[in-house]
Structure formats: C-alpha cells, structure tokens
Chain A
Amino acid sequence: MALVQVDGLTFAYPAGPQALRGVSLRIERGEVVLLLGNSGSGKTTLLRALGGLVPHFHGGRFEGRVEIDGRDTRTSRPADLAGTVAMLFQDPEEQVVLTRVSREVAFGLENMGTPPQQILPRALSALAAVGAAQLADRPVSELSGGELQRVCLASALALEPQLLLLDEPTSQLDPDSAEELLERATELGSTVVLSEQRPERVLAAATRVLFFEAGRVLLDAPVDRARAWLDEHRPAWSTEPRLVTQRDEGTGTLLCRLRDVAYAYRPGEPVLEAFDLELRRGEIVALAGPNGSGKTTIAKLAAGLLEPTAGHVERMGRAALLLQDPGRYVVRDRAVDEVALGVGGDLVRARRALADVGLAGKESRHPRDLSSGERERLALASVLVTEPDLLVLDEPTRGVDPERKRRLAASLRADASRRATLVVTHDDVFATSVADRIVHLEKGSDPEGLTLTQAAARG
C-alpha cells in the first residue's frame, strides 16, 4: 500500500478561488518528492491537505480523497495524523509554542503520549541529529532564523514520522546550512515531500519532482527528466549556473561609504569589525555569506538605521531599506495609503509606484488581504516610491518564486543607473543574475574583500 494516495483532490479556501484542481498522485515509502511551482500554484495547499489541515483547520470546499497510511484525512483530524505525519511550516517563528528549545522539541512527543522517560532523550537525540544539540537549553527567543529552523526540524523529526512535510524549509538558510539541513531531513528514512523556491538546493536530494501551475500538476517525473523539462519549458526554474564575466568596478558618484566600521549588539560580542564598503550610483552590490555573518547589520548601517560602534558611515543622498519579510510590517488599511506613507501622503506617486510593481487596481485593498507575493511587491513599492539614491534590500527573494525573482532582477537592472543598490541575499542564483559585484562575508571575520564577480546573462 502506498503511504500517500491522493485521488481527484479539488480544494478552494473559504471565499477563495480553487487552490487545487483534480490532483491525483501516489507516493511510495522512502520517496523524496520535490514540489515546484510559482507562488499560489497550490504547493502549500497540497502539503496542508497531506497533513489533514485542509480541510479541518482551514475549512473551504474539499472534493476527492486523501489517504495517509490508509487513513482518510476527511475522517482523521490533523492531531490524530500527527506522529504519522510531521510538518515544518514556512515561517519557523510562527510555529514555536514553548520558550526553551528542549521543551519545544518535546512538545510534540508529549502530545503523542510518548512514555515520559523517553521524551527528553528523544528530543535531545533529534536536536543532535540536526546539529543543534548545543541549543537544548537556550531560550527560543534568542535563536537566529537559521537556528530556529533547525529546532523546528528537530521537533518534526523527534516524532519519527513516516511522512515528513517541509514547506520551504531552507528559506532562511545560507546554501551550506540548507544543504546540511536537507541531508539530515532525508537521511532518517522518512518519506519526504517538500516545496522549494530554490530548486538548485534540493534537486540532488530528491527522487521525484512535481511541478504545479494554477492548482494542477503539470509535471510528475523523476529528477533527471524533470531537469530537462524545466530547462525546456520553465527556464526560470533551470538550475544551470549563469555565465559569469568580469566587469569594471562602479565608476558612478559615490553614494555611501562604510569605513573601518564595527558593530556590536552586546558589549564584547562584535558582529562586524573593520568593515569597508563603497557603493556608487549605477552599481548593484550583493552581500552574501553564512547566517550570522553580519549582512543585515551592514544593511541597516548603510541605510542609517544603526550607528556604528566604531568607524564611519557616510551617505551622500537619501537611503531606503526594505527589511526581511516585509509583508509583516504593514500599518495602513489601504494599499495606496501604505505606499503614500513614505512620500507624505502623495497618492498620485503612490498609485504610480503600485502600477510599477504590477498592483494597479489593488489600491483600495487592505494590505493584509493581499497574497504574500503581492504584499512583498507592495512593500517594494513603499520603498521605491521614495526614489532613494541608495536602495538596500534585505533578502528580497525569500519565498519568492524564480519567475518573480527574474522580474525583480530585471527591474533592478533596468533602474540601476538611478541609484546605488545593495542586496543582501543567500540566493546565489539571484545574486549572480542581478549584481555587478558580490561581497562575500565570512562568519566572525573580515570580508574576503570586494570580490568582483559580475554575473552576466542579463539579456
């Protein structure tokens, strides 16, 4: 018997369009299935359906049948499926219940009715399995995004599930950490179904690929065939490395200079020391490096949100910063008012900025009613409307599908001459497709230097 059997699954959220249309598939034990597709194509909804959350938690119109290990999800609640199924959600911050790491990992085991004497040993063992044993006694509020993602994976693995569902598990991780995390997730023998926006990270670990479009399965194939199909039919999803050529360093007007800059959030624990960077009009600089290497700190220093503890930051012009996860930080009730906030309520400029990011016609919508992708574009419009001389973007491609990444890169390139742009990113493909040069930071040390690696392939 297959572990997962989906027959004719069609689903619509309450008051929403159909998110899945006639999906049928069968997943055998031990498979590692990668779900690809643009935002809103149905990947997360399928994961929720496999975990029973659709329809039990979300409501909506559900047709067809989903069976997990022979149990029909229409008659089994998600809490009853827990243990057989474990799920890791997109945003680790929004799935943490308790305050200490070891207790957080033990939470699911307690719910399962695990014998008391086995709970902590299993929790600690799961933490060790994801390389997070040293975090066991730490408060979750003090963990970085990457550490939190490991803890959440440990919480899922501690249940020793037959089916592990991972919704963009590497979105907050640098490439090395992402590779390691995926290795840990797949080596324990569970059947794994995961969605990703950066296929290059996952294809090597997967055995099968499903490509979704508008709620339908467009492709269901082994990895080799899927690679060929992606190259031919969805080149934005192609994982072939882009052509990299050298380009002269920026020669435009100097707009921002960080000289010998240091910063520490706590005394004696510097996250940045003796850091130098110059940003000139017309150039796009990508800032890459592992989690905790100080990229976001540099972004905030460059934009003027932080003052260095040593050294100097000079800005010649107006700076604007788009933070990570910008869709969370909306303050107004209408999209147009949200954008107009940065330009003293100028609705004309705000409407134009919304149109520039493809949100024309959505001016009066409440920002929280927009989809996650639309919220991100709204946030981008809110920053671009100020027409900054220095634009700083912190992880602008997190959770963004390759099609939209390509459009964002094209848009940044098209307007590059208007300003200097600093992009903080873990996304190598995006960095090489948009940046004139990439600055690689090493954790706890100086940057490697201004490595000039112009990524071409800009059409």
Chain B
Amino acid sequence: MRTAPALALLAAAVAASLLARHTLSVAAIALLLFLLCLRAPRRRRWPYLVGTGVSAVALFVVTPFVETLGSHPLWTGPILPVIGQLDVTHEELASALFQACRLAAVGLAFAAYALLLDHDRLLAAAGFARRSVLVVALATRLVPTLERDAAGLVDSLRGRGVEVEGARRRAALLSPLLAGSLERGLNLAEAMEARGYGRAGRTRVPPPPWRLVDRLALVGAAALTALGVLWL
C-alpha cells in the first residue's frame, strides 16, 4: 500500500477514536491498532507500546481523583485543601476508562506511523511543505537513534563498572543524550549541504501508481471517520 492512504487510514482511526462516544468502540479501535503495531519487530516496538500503555494507565488512575462526575460513589476519601473531597464514582471510573482508551488509540496510531510507515515515501509524496515533512521524518528517526545512543551510553558506563539503575541515574543520561543528538544534528546538516540539499530545481523519485488497495484505503479512511461521527 502507498504511504499516503496508509497515513489517511491511521488519521481516520485517530479521528474516529476522538469522535466516538462509546468506550467499547474506542477500545476496539485501540485493539486493532495494537494488533497492527505487533507487526513491527519486537525490539523496535516495545518503547512505543510501553510508553503508550503507561500513559493510558496513568490517565485511568488519575482521572477519577481530579474529575467530579456522577452520584454513585464507590469510595469516599478525605477532604484535601484546594482539591476538596476525594471520591471515586462509578461514572468517574467509566469516564477514566473512556479517556484512557482514547489516549491509547492515539498513542498506538502514532506508534504504527513511526514503526510501520515508510517515511521516505511520505517525504517523496509530499508535493508541498517538503521541508516540514523532512523535519518530521528526521524527528521520527530520532527515536531509534536516541534509543541506540542510550544503549551505547549504558554499555559504555557498564564497561567501566558503573551500573545505571534507578530512575535518577537513568534521568542523568538525558543531558549527554541531548548533547550527542545536537552534535549529530550538526554533522547531518553538513552532510546534507554537501549532498546538494537546498539547491534549486529539486526533483523526486516518481511515486508508484495508485492501486485498488490504495483507493480502498482512502474510502475506508473516509468511512471510518463518518462512522466515528455517526454511530460509534
């Protein structure tokens, strides 16, 4: 499948999950996207899946305490300054689950975009705003690069007998990782300049012809968005 229709399908899934009103519908979309993400290699997909999962669970846990909704309390806690009465109602739990499913669906759609789409083709397909698309493509590549750099840093420290354990020690690696990526960015910019980037009259690889599956994907994307508005 061409990249543009695939991207349209993912965008439609995000739109449908944001427009849908039923938790089951959103959960079904999230499940489909999760199964899609499983097509990516295990070692590449886990940071995206874990990140999305942790965020969704955190949202589910926090929402009932900060939301005031419903009149069927399941648990009533103390009164806190500023926040007021802590309680968890049946309605709040349902709302938390709904929001968590939405977040999961959006996160998984991004994971599928980052893991499964051919960003080079996306760049080639961009008839306008090529610079922005290139930035997005490079930013997307940054994740696996940072992952590799982080692994290298940890190995380098372990090679000196320094174990990197615990959130504090891992957080201390962020600064060198950032410095390293800035250095890498400079070198990349130099290489791009040397390869003629920015020169007038740029051409592009001809895109592959549209096939039936591409057209079907576009129709499916429109239908999925409509479903989200009307029935889900």
Residues of A at the B interface (CB closer than 8 Å) are 51, 53, 56-57, 77-80, 82-83, 85-87, 89, 91, 94-100, 103-104, 106-108, 110-117, 119-120, 141, 155, 300, 303-305, 318, 320-323, 326, 328-331, 341-342, 368, 379, 382-383, 386, 392
Which of B155, B183, B187, B193 is the one whose CB lies under 8 Å from A323? B155
Contact with A along B136-177 (1 / 0, CB 8 A): 011001001100110011011111111000000000110110
Q: A94-B187, A94-B188, A342-B161 known; A110 and B198 CB under 8 Å?
A: no
The CA-CA distance from A161 to B121 in the complex, in Å, is 26
The CA-CA distance from A318 to B179 in the complex, in Å, is 31
The CA-CA distance from A455 to B192 in the complex, in Å, is 43
The CA-CA distance from A94 to B144 in the complex, in Å, is 14
Interface stretch of the complex, out of B57-65, B92-100, B103-111, B201-209? B201-209
B188 with A100: CB separation less than 8 A: no
B194 with A386: CB separation less than 8 A: no
B202 with A82: CB separation less than 8 A: no
Which of B145, B173, B187, B205 is the one whose CB lies under 8 Å from A116? B205
Is B22 engaged at the interface, CB distance under 8 Å to the other chain? no
Interface centre among A87, A320, A321, A329 (most CB of B within 10 A): A329
The CA-CA distance from A51 to B191 in the complex, in Å, is 11
The CA-CA distance from A53 to B192 in the complex, in Å, is 11
B195 with A108: CB separation less than 8 A: yes
B160 with A341: CB separation less than 8 A: yes
Is B180 engaged at the interface, CB distance under 8 Å to the other chain? yes
A320 with B197: CB separation less than 8 A: no
Q: How far is the CB of B205 from chain A (nearest CB, A)?
A: 5
Contact residues in A for B192 (Cβ distance below 8 Å): 97
Q: How far is the CB of B164 from chain A (nearest CB, A)?
A: 10
A97 with B199: CB separation less than 8 A: no
A78 with B203: CB separation less than 8 A: no
The B72-93 residues at the A interface (CB cut-off 8 A) are: none
A99 with B193: CB separation less than 8 A: no
Which of A51, A96, A305 is the one whose CB lies under 8 Å from B158? A305
A111 with B194: CB separation less than 8 A: no
A80 with B199: CB separation less than 8 A: yes
18 A-B Cβ contacts within 8 A?
A: A86-B195, A94-B187, A97-B138, A97-B188, A97-B195, A99-B137, A107-B195, A107-B197, A155-B195, A305-B155, A321-B155, A323-B155, A323-B159, A328-B180, A331-B175, A331-B176, A341-B162, A386-B161
Contact residues in A for B134 (Cβ distance below 8 Å): 97
Q: How far is the CB of A44 from chain B (nearest CB, A)?
A: 11
The residue in chain A whose Cβ has the minimal distance to the Cβ of B185 is A94
The residue in chain B whose Cβ has the minimal distance to the Cβ of A384 is B160
Which of A82, A119, A141, A392 is the one whose CB lies under 8 Å from B194? A82
The CA-CA distance from A107 to B191 in the complex, in Å, is 12
Contact residues in B for A83 (Cβ distance below 8 Å): 196
The residue in chain A whose Cβ has the minimal distance to the Cβ of B158 is A305
The CA-CA distance from A320 to B173 in the complex, in Å, is 20
Contact residues in B for A341 (Cβ distance below 8 Å): 157, 160, 162
Closest 6 CB pairs of A and B: A82-B196, A321-B159, A111-B196, A95-B191, A103-B120, A329-B156
The residue in chain A whose Cβ has the minimal distance to the Cβ of B147 is A141
The residue in chain B whose Cβ has the minimal distance to the Cβ of A119 is B205
Contact with A along B116-127 (1 / 0, CB 8 A): 001111011000
The CA-CA distance from A300 to B154 in the complex, in Å, is 13
Q: How far is the CB of A193 from chain B (nearest CB, A)?
A: 14
The CA-CA distance from A318 to B160 in the complex, in Å, is 10
B159 with A78: CB separation less than 8 A: no
A95 with B187: CB separation less than 8 A: yes
Contact residues in A for B152 (Cβ distance below 8 Å): 323, 328-329
B120 with A79: CB separation less than 8 A: no
Contact residues in B for A328 (Cβ distance below 8 Å): 149, 152, 180
Contact residues in B for A305 (Cβ distance below 8 Å): 155, 158-159
Contact residues in A for B206 (Cβ distance below 8 Å): 116-117, 119
Q: How far is the CB of B173 from chain A (nearest CB, A)?
A: 7
Q: A89-B191, A99-B137 known; A141 and B157 CB under 8 Å?
A: no
Interface centre among B121, B157, B195, B198 (most CB of A within 10 A): B195
B124 with A112: CB separation less than 8 A: no
The CA-CA distance from A78 to B118 in the complex, in Å, is 29
Q: How far is the CB of A398 from chain B (nearest CB, A)?
A: 15
Q: A100-B120, A321-B159, A329-B156 known; A113 and B199 CB under 8 Å?
A: yes
Is B184 engaged at the interface, CB distance under 8 Å to the other chain? yes
A326 with B160: CB separation less than 8 A: no
Contact residues in B for A300 (Cβ distance below 8 Å): 155
Contact residues in B for A53 (Cβ distance below 8 Å): 190, 193-194
